[in-house]
Amino acid sequence: MPKQRTETPVEGGPLARSTSSGQALDFIFHPRSVAVAGASPPQPGFGGIGAGFVIALKEMGLPAVYPVNPHHEE
């Protein structure tokens, strides 16, 4: 016996919170802040890939960019 599909999402299921306005993915495409893990300060002769990401994200206009590296101080 084949299962029947329903147009009504199951309460608490993955489609129960979906919105037609696209707000469900807003936190991915319009973040309030971003952390860059492993970012290190630029060094002579080497720009530092993490530092490049931090600079690029700031230039893109993100409101808050946090470089994170436990081996470096602020």
Please give the model's pTM, rounded to 2 decimal places.
0.55
pLDDT tens, 35-68?
988 887 777 766 677 788 888 899 999 889 998 8
Does pLDDT of 18 surpass 80?
no
Taking phi over 0 as left and psi of -120 to 50 as alpha, with beta for the rest, 52 belongs to: alpha
